[in-house]
Structures are given as structure tokens and as C-alpha cells.
């Protein structure tokens, strides 16, 4: 129970990687607010699973991509939790397409959802942390797309690369407040979004071909997140950690 007594906000926490992180935090003893755009059957089920772990878990609906709406999410979370010790910022928007035909509007929407929204949420939470004397954990869910220029993902690649660098800049500025800022770069993780993008058949076929012999699971990222926001990682800040089962090394295997 390394996180007993800690209060966490997980944006994009109703499913996929966000929920995987929220669940592992709850298992480690944290009380958790999960956020998503709106309440759904999926978010209700997620909340039930968190509470089964003994967490005082809550759901806050709201748009984590917008600055003002992000501030409202933080305010509602503070009303429920009393304070926020941990922010895991997980949401993203991605739609693939060829660079030559990629609409500018879609590029800007991707940057807003996958970069700018993280800035806003982190700023609101950091202001709260500093106002109560400092200390806290900010953790961003990025991607191996930040490190490699995958085709037909120009906006997502750019946004994730920007997120990594932005997080390190935050780490520099927040050191004096003893706020740790880190990033996880997941590889191919089985989430509802990946099923929509690639299809369940493709995921089942391609998973065993990956270097680790399986596709990643949200729990793989969640367990890493639970470590990085614990006291065990007190001396880690400004770091991007690849968690991909060797996915980014597959071309080196020969």
C-alpha cells in the first residue's frame, strides 16, 4: 500500500491506459478521481472496480482538452478529495492520415488534445500543489511515437514529442517545489482505441509477433505509473521511461 492516503486525479481514466493507471493506484492504496468527457456505462464499471480495491473513488465529467474546463475538473476533484497529490494525465486524440492530404483542422485538434490539454491540466494541478507548500507527482502518458517518426501519424508524432519536452521543462521549473514530473512512453498497448483503429483480429494476430511475444496491457503501464508516483521514485524527475516490451527495438533483432 505504497500510496495509502494519497489523492490522485487521472484524466482519461475511464478506460484503456488511463483506467489501467487508476486501478493500480487504487490497489496501492490511493483515493482516485477518474475523469472522462461524460459519464457512461464504461465509467460506471470503472468506478465500481476501483471501489472494489478499497479506494474512495469518484468520477468527474469534463473536457480535459480545454483550459477552463480543465480548471473545472480540478476544482471538482479538489472538492471530492480535499487535495491532489498525484496527477496522471492520460487523454489523447489521434486520427491517422497521409501528410500530403492531412487537414490543418485535424492537425490542430490533435495538438489540442494530445499536447495543449496536458499543459492546462498540469498547470491547474501544479498551482494547487504549490499553493499548499509544494510536493506532488505529475505523470504524463506519452508514446513511443514521441521517439520515432511513424508514417501517417504526423500530428500525433509531433504532439507526443512536444509533450515529452514540455514535461521536462516543467520538471526544471518545479524542482524548487519538489514536484516530480515524469513521462511514460508506452508501446503497442491493447486498448479500446487500438481495437477501433486496427481491429480485434489484427491485434490478436500481431501481438505474438512482437518482441515480448504479446501486446502490452494497460496494467503494464499502470504498474509503472504506480512506481513513478510513489516515494520509491522520489529521486526521479524529468525522465521519459519507455515501457514497450521491446517494441521500439524490433527492427534491431534482425
CATH label of the domain that carries residue 111 = 3.40.50.720
Which pLDDT score is estimated for 250? 87
Cell digits of residue 111: 495538438
Question: Residue 32 falls within a domain, yes or no?
Answer: yes
Which pLDDT score is estimated for 151? 96
DSSP 30-69: -EEEEEESS--HHHHHHHHHHHHTT---EEEE--TTSHHH
Mark whether 102 is an active-site residue.
Answer: no
Of the candidates 102, 150, 156, 235, the residue annotated as catalytic is 156
Question: Residue 242 falls within a domain, yes or no?
Answer: yes
Question: Residue 128 falls within a domain, yes or no?
Answer: yes
Chain segment 184-213, per-residue pLDDT in tens: 999 999 998 888 888 999 999 999 999 999
Q: How many domains does the chain have?
A: 1
Chain segment 114-173, per-residue pLDDT in tens: 999 999 999 999 999 999 999 999 999 999 999 999 999 999 999 999 999 999 999 999
Question: Residue 252 falls within a domain, yes or no?
Answer: no
Question: Residue 1 falls within a domain, yes or no?
Answer: no
- Rounded Cα distance between 38 and 35, Å, is 8
Beta strand extents in the chain (DSSP E only): 7-11, 31-36, 58-61, 86-89, 136-141, 179-186, 239-243
Q: Which residue in the block uniquely carries the three cell numbers 505529475?
A: 138
Chain segment 73-97, per-residue pLDDT in tens: 999 999 999 999 999 999 889 999 9
Amino acid at each position: 500500500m505504497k500510496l495509502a492516503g494519497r489523492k490522485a486525479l487521472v484524466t482519461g481514466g475511464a478506460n484503456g491506459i488511463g483506467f489501467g493507471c487508476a486501478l493500480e493506484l487504487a490497489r496501492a492504496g490511493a483515493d482516485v478521481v477518474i475523469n472522462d468527457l461524460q459519464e457512461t456505462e464504461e465509467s460506471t464499471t470503472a468506478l465500481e472496480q476501483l471501489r472494489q480495491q478499497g479506494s474512495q473513488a469518484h468520477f468527474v465529467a469534463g473536457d480535459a482538452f480545454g483550459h477552463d474546463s480543465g480548471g473545472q475538473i480540478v476544482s471538482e476533484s479538489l472538492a471530492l478529495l480535499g487535495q491532489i497529490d498525484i496527477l496522471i494525465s492520460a487523454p489523447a486524440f489521434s486520427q491517422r492520415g497521409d501528410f500530403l492530404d492531412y487537414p490543418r483542422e485535424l492537425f490542430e485538434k490533435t495538438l489540442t488534445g494530445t499536447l495543449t490539454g496536458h499543459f492546462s491540466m498540469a498547470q491547474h494541478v501544479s498551482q494547487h500543489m504549490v499553493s499548499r507548500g509544494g510536493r506532488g507527482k505529475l505523470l504524463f502518458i506519452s508514446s513511443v511515437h514521441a521517439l520515432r517518426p511513424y508514417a501517417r501519424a504526423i500530428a500525433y508524432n509531433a504532439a507526443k514529442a512536444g509533450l515529452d519536452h514540455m514535461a521536462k521543462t516543467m520538471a526544471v521549473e518545479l524542482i524548487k517545489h519538489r514536484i516530480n514530473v515524469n513521462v511514460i512512453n508506452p508501446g503497442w498497448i491493447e486498448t479500446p482505441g487500438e481495437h477501433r483503429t486496427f481491429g480485434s483480429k489484427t491485434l490478436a494476430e500481431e501481438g505474438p509477433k512482437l518482441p515480448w511475444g504479446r501486446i502490452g496491457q494497460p496494467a503494464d503501464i499502470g504498474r509503472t505509473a504506480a512506481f513513478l508516483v510513489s516515494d520509491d521514485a522520489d529521486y526521479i524527475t524529468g525522465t521519459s521511461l519507455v515501457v514497450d516490451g521491446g517494441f521500439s527495438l524490433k527492427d534491431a533483432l534482425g
